[in-house]
Amino acid sequence: MAKQRKYDNPGNPKNKTGGNPGQFKKGFDNRRNMDGAPIKPSRLKVLEAAFGGPIEPEFERGITIKTLRWLCEMTPAELKVLIKRTDLAAFVILYAKRIIKAIEDKDTRAIEEIFDRAYGKPTSKVALTDSDGNDKDGLGVVIYLPDNGRGNPPTKEDSANPPMDKSEPA
């Protein structure tokens, strides 16, 4: 670790001699913000100010889903042509790139995610059964816990030492 340098006079020396005119004065100073930090504008308001008007997204949920389904129906050659275009929405180009990468990597996760988004995740059912796999008896939920030695009677090694058995003094 580097050796720490000990300063004899910490702080800005101009503040001590009065050479820093920007220093706050004791007591009231009209430059102090007594109300706290100003409210941060939302990202949408910053974008609207940059573009000079209100921003309304053109894509609705149904159109987005149709676009994702349309991308999944395209051939890899069509997707490669689509990626080179500059007049399309960013999400279309990004999903097209992701599908092409998934094809090259022989990975189906990207397509599964798109299908889950476009068609909804498939429902899965949980069947609660007894130890034999039967649900007809109506036993309810049976939970099997590992034994971990709980079924054995306590031995002398399991019990506390005699000094620890005493109650605490009041």
Instruction: Give the pLDDT of residue 58.
Output: 77
Positions in the chain whose pLDDT score sits under 70: 1-25, 124-166, 170
Instruction: Give the pLDDT of residue 96.
Output: 94
CA angle 117, 118, 120 (to 5 degrees): 65
Q: H helices of the chain, where?
A: 13-17, 43-51, 61-73, 76-83, 90-105, 109-119, 162-165
Give the domain ranges of the chain: 61-119
Instruction: Give the pLDDT of residue 136.
Output: 59
Write the single-letter amino acid at 16.
Answer: K
Q: Are 118 and 62 in contact (CB under 8 A)?
A: no
Please give the model's pTM, rounded to 2 decimal places.
0.45
Write the single-letter amino acid at 123.
Answer: T
CA angle 53, 94, 112 (to 5 degrees): 125
Range 72-78, long-range pairs (CB < 8 A, 24+ positions): 72/99, 72/111, 72/114, 72/115, 72/118, 76/100, 76/103
CB atoms within 10 A of CB 110: 18
User: What would the pLDDT profile of 86-108 be if each residue is shown by its tens digit?
Assistant: 898 898 999 999 999 999 999 88
